[in-house]
Amino acid sequence: MDSLLKLSRWIDALTERVGKTAIWLVLVVVLVSTGNAVLRYTLNYSSNAFLEIQWYLFGAIFLACSGYTLMRNEHVRIDLIASKLSKRGQTWIDILGILFFLMPMAFTILILSWPVFMHAFAANEMSNSPGGLIMWPVRLMIPVGFVLLIMQGISELIKRIGFLKGLCPDPTEKVIAMTAEEELAAIIKARKEKGEA
């Protein structure tokens, strides 16, 4: 079980890195969207490529962060029954949910999306819109996103079994930490204090 827990920590570290990187794509989407709006209203110029890159990046953010959301235990839950159960009972519900719902769904989408990507790549498929972008990168994001979700599902399964065996802490316990905004405010405050000292 120790080697499985080590694998889980490695997957969690990868998921954390992917999630933190994907968060920066939000800034890119905002900049592209702003640039598109400025060009449209000042120079009366617009391009379908600008619109499509926003959609592609939004899809990349959503797909890349699905495993990150699962790891952070921020996914949607309906706790009508689970909230009345003990922590062990809730953990069993999570294990069964991962095994019988998450994994079959994620593997099915992965298997079905791979040929779609391969066809788009082989045919160098282009958007139907004039001035649109090539399609294979966005088609690739679907299987990549679901591979990341499957990996995180495996990690969550390992952690829950480890919790039931008493080998690791409760993986659903929320760690209260500063938000990104609070961290930034603390850094700015510390720099100001250093400048004043």
pTM (predicted TM-score): 0.78
CA separation (Å) from 180 to 7, 37, 177, 184? 27, 27, 9, 6
Nearest-angstrom CA–CA distance, 131 and 195:
50
Whether the predicted pLDDT of 197 surpasses 60: no
Domains contained in the chain, number? 1
State the chain's mean pLDDT as an integer. Answer: 86
pLDDT for 196 equals 61
Pull the structure tokens for residue 132: 């649109």
SS3 108: helix
pLDDT one-digit tens code per residue, 116-134: 999 989 998 888 777 778 8
Residues spanned by the domain of 99: 2-74+82-196
Ranges 10-14, 50-54, 124-128, 178-182: which has the least confidence: 178-182
Alpha-carbon span 3 to 196, nearest angstrom: 50
**Segment 148-185, tens digit of pLDDT:** 999 999 999 999 898 888 887 777 777 677 777 778 88
Residue 92 has pLDDT above 70, yes or no: yes
